[in-house]
Structure 1
C-alpha cells in the first residue's frame, strides 16, 4: 500500500503536523480528519460590528498573543508570508511592563486589591507586594537543597512552597497557574509546566536563584526557516495579527487546501482506530473508513485512549491521567477609553482563595481567574483606534475575563451575547451571569463601570489539560510503548502531550511529522 498518513484533529497541532508533512514529503498522501465543522481548535477570532456606530472590534475566544522566542511559530509566519499582518507589543509599552495581581481581602495585610507587580527597583521599593517578594527571594538564595528524594517530580505549589515559602506560593504561584493552565497550582507538575525552572534549580544545587546565576548549557535550537522575523520582532514583548490569532490557523488550512495530495475531512470525528499488520483503519462516526499506513494523533488524549483502548488494555493509562479545565471566556466592550475603565497594563491575575476553592458555584462571586486589558495590547486590531496605543482617546475599551478552571463551573446565561438577547429596549436587561461579572469587575477595579456596548460568553469546555506530577515520565513511557507497538508509525502530539502554549502545540506537530517512521 502506498504511504498514506492520517492526521487526527485539525486544531493548531494537527494543522502544523499536516503542513510540515506536506513540506517534508511533497508526494505523500495526507488526510486531515476533523470532528468539528471547521479547523483551528481553540483558536477562534471574530470581528464584531458594534451597535450605535462604535465601529468594529476583534475578539478572541482563545489565545490572543504569541511570544517572539517561539521559533516554530516564526517559521510558520515566514513561510506563510504573514509578516505584514503581524502587530507587536513593545517591551517598553505599559502592556508589557505593567502586570497586576488582585489580592482578595481574605488574604489580609496591606497588599489588598489591585497591585502592580514590581518590574523595577523603584517599583519594588513602593509596592506592598515587596513584603512577600523580597523575603521569599532572599531566603531562597541561602536555603539548602531540600529537593524530594531522587529529584522526583512535584507540583508547582510544592516546589515554590519549599523554596520560597507558603505566602509566595499561594499569592504568586497560584495566580500564574490560573493564567496559564486555569488550574490549581497544587496539581500541576513543575517539570511539565516550567522545565527551565527545574533545570536552573539543578544547576544551583537545589536553589533556583543560584541556578539562574549559573550559565546554562547552550542547546542547538535546530534549523528553522524564520527569515527576517527575529529582526522584525526585535524589541517586541509579544505579538499577534491584525485580524486575530485565527489568521495563523486559517493560513495553514488554506495552504493545505491548495495541496492536491492533502485532503481535509470535516465534521467527522473518529469512532475507532484499528491496527492490522500493514495499515490502520480509522472508522469515522458517519460510517466512512479511512485506511492509512501511518497516523499522527493530535486529538485530546482521552479521545485517543477511547480509540485505542480496546486493543491495548491498561498500557495507555497515561492518556487519561490528565484532567481538564473548562473556562468561560467573557469578552466585554465598554464605552469610553481604557483610561476610564482600568489602569494601563496587560491585565491582572487572581490567586486562589486562602480557604480553598468552593465546592459549589457561587451566584454572587463567579470563579474569576484573571482579566486581560485587550485594548492596551491589541488596539491595532480595532477600527476605531487612531494610533497604536490609544489609552486616553479610544471610543471603546475591550477586555476579557476568564472564569472557571478549578472553580465550580457557573451556569451559563440564557443567551451568550448581547446581540442574541431580546430586541426590545425594555426587555434588554443584562442576565444575572453578566451582572455578577460586572459587579466583580467593579470591585476589582474600584469603580462603578458603565453598561457594556457589547458582551459575549464563550464556554470552552475541557479546553486545557492539567498536567499532573509525573506527566513527563508518563509521556516518555507512553511514547516508548507506542513506538514498539506500532513501529514508529503512530505519533502523538498536542496540549495534553507536550505543553499547552501555542508554541508548544506548533512545535509538537512539527516534531511528530519529523519523527514519523515512513
Structure 2
C-alpha cells in the first residue's frame, strides 16, 4: 500500500534526508518530521563563525563533521538538487593537507608522517610499527578460522599481520572514524572491503589488492557507472575533479540548513521541532499511533525511525519490541576548537591521529583521539590575519589537553594563549557496531518486513546505528528509505 502519511522520527541528517527524498518519491503523501531539538541537523549543524579580538578577522568553528569525500554520491546529489555548488570549498589532492597525515604514538614525543608507497618509507619512524604487519601479511596463507562470520577489526589485523601494527595503525584509524576501541569494532561492518580482499587473495589482503586484473578494474568501473545512474548529479562531479575532501564556505551546517529550508517550503511536510516523542505503538487494528509531549496523537500510515536505536527501543511497548536495538555501545566525545595567534603551531598537513597506548587506556590520560589542522585542511573558511585554527577530539579538560598537545607537537616553548576556545559535548553520538552486526541487522529487517509480524514493512529503521556512521552513509540511508513501499 502506497503511504498516505509518513512520520519521520528524528531530525538529524538521516531524518532530514529521509523527509526530503520521501517527499520526492511520494509527492501526494503528507510527511511529519519530529525532532526533540529546536534546530534540525543533529551534530552536523554545530557550526559557528566567531569574530576574533583586536580586529583579526573571523574563523569558522565546527563541532561535528568537517569534511566529506567525493565518493559519497548521496551528498553530491543534494548539492545539485539544493543548488549549493557555489558554496562548495574543495581541498585538492595536490595540497599538503591531502598528502600529509600524521600519527602520534603515546610514549614518544612528536608526530610521525604516515608514509605512502615511496622511498621515504625506508627512514620513516613508523616503519618499525608497520613493517611487522606487512611482512606477516605477505607470508601467511589462509588462516581464517572455520565458520567465522565476523571478528573485531584489531583481531582481524592481528590475525593477518602483527599485534603491534594492529594496535598502532588499527586503533588510530578507529579513533578517527568511530572514537571507539578497535578491539570491539566489527571488521565486516566497518571495513567490509578488507574481508573481501582476504577472500580474493586467498588469505593475503595485499595479494588480493595487487592482483586486481584489468577485468576486475573494468567491472568495478562499470558498476560505479551503473550505480551513478541512481543519482541526479548534474555538473557537481566536475567540481570534484582532483579533490581529496570538501566542505562548504560556511561549514558543514550548510547542508542540513539547506535541507531544512527545502522541507519548510514543501506544503506537504509538517515539521515538529522542540517536540519529544513519548511512544510509538500499534493499536488493536495494527494502526500506528505516535504520542508526543506537545501534540495530539499522530496517526501515520508509515513510519521511518532515524533515531538512535536505544531511543527507539524505549519508545516501543514490550509487546512490539524489536531485536538488537540495545546491542551496540555508543561513544561520547568532546570536540575542542582552538584558535592561536601564531601560524607556526603545526606542520603542513591534514592533522594527526593518536593510537592506543601500549599499556592500554589510562584514566589520567588526556584522551586525545585525533587533531585536525583546520587552517590547512580548509583555509578558505577563515578570514583572519596569520593564525592557527585546529580541532581536537578528546575526553578530557582543556589544561590537560593543552599540555598533551604541546608534547604531541614536540614543542619546547609553551603554546601561546588561545584567542578562542570552544567546546562541544556530544553524548552517546557514535555507535560502535560489534562483531555480528550485519547478521543482527538482517534479523532486525526480517522482523520489520515479516507479514506474520505487526510491522509488515510499514516501519523502516535507518541511520548511523544500522548501516554506517559517516555523513555520506546517513544521507544514503535517507536516499533509499521507502524504496519498497
Q: What TM-score bracket applies, with the shorter chain setting the length?
A: over 0.9
Aligned residues, how many?
467
What SS does the aligned partner of 2:325 have? helix
Query: Who is 1:12 aligned against?
Result: 13
Instruction: Please state if 1:436 is matched with 2:427.
Output: no
1:141 Cα deviation from its structure 2 partner: 2.0
| Corresponding residue SS for 1:513 | coil
1:355 match: 359
In 2, Cα distance between equivalents of 1:238 and 1:85: 14
Counterpart-to-counterpart distance in 1, 2:6 and 2:95? 45
- Equivalent-residue separation in structure 1 for 2:3 and 2:165 (angstroms): 57
- Per the alignment, residue 346 of structure 1 pairs with 350
Equivalent residue runs for 1:215-226 within 5 Å? 215=212, 216=216, 218=220, 219=223, 220-221=226-227, 222-226=229-233
Q: Which residue of 1 is the match for residue 190 of structure 2? A: 193
User: 2:440 — aligned with what?
Assistant: 474
For 1:31-50, list aligned pairs within 5 A.
31-43=32-44, 44-50=46-52
Q: Are 1:286 and 2:294 an aligned pair?
A: yes
1:294-333, aligned counterparts within 5 Å?
A: 294-313=302-321, 316-333=322-339
Post-superposition CA distance 1:43-98 (Å, at most 9, x none): 12111112121211111110000000111110000111101100001111111110
How far residue 287 of structure 1 moved from its aligned partner, in angstroms, is 5.1
Gaps of 5+ in 1: 107-111, 385-393, 405-409, 411-432
Contact 1:98 1:119 in 2 (8 A): no
- Name 1:77's counterpart in structure 2: 79
- Per the TM alignment, residue 2 of structure 1 is displaced from its structure 2 partner at its CA by 7.3
Alpha-carbon offset, residue 198 of structure 1: 1.0
- 433-442 vs 155-164, which deviates more? 433-442
1:508 maps to 2:477: yes
Tell me the alpha carbon deviations over residues 86-120 of structure 1, each in whole angstroms, 9 at most, x when there is no partner.
000111111111000011227xxxxx631000124
Question: SS of 1:210's equivalent?
Answer: helix
Q: CA RMSD in A?
A: 1.5
Equivalent in the alignment of 2:418: 452
**8 A contact 2:101–2:350 mirrored in 1:** yes
Report the CA distance between 1:23 and its aligned residue: 1.0
Distance (Å, rounded) in 2 between the aligned partners of 1:37 and 1:133:
47
Instruction: Confirm or deny that 1:3 pairs with 2:4.
Output: yes
Once residues 72 and 297 of structure 1 are traced to their aligned partners in structure 2, the CA distance between those partners, rounded to angstroms, is 19
1:467 Cα deviation (Å)?
Answer: 0.7
Query: 1:402 deviation in Å?
Result: 0.6
When the two structures are superposed, what TM-score results if normalisation uses the length of structure 1? 0.88
Separation of aligned partners in 2, 1:249 and 1:513: 21
Report the Cα offset of residue 309 of structure 1.
4.3
Q: Is 1:494 matched with 2:463?
A: yes
Distance 2:61 2:238 in 1: 28
**Distance in 2 separating the partners of 1:153 and 1:64:** 31
The equivalent position to 1:208 in structure 2, one of 205, 209, 223, is 205
| In 1, Cα distance between equivalents of 2:292 and 2:147 | 45
| Structure 2 unaligned spans of 5+ | none
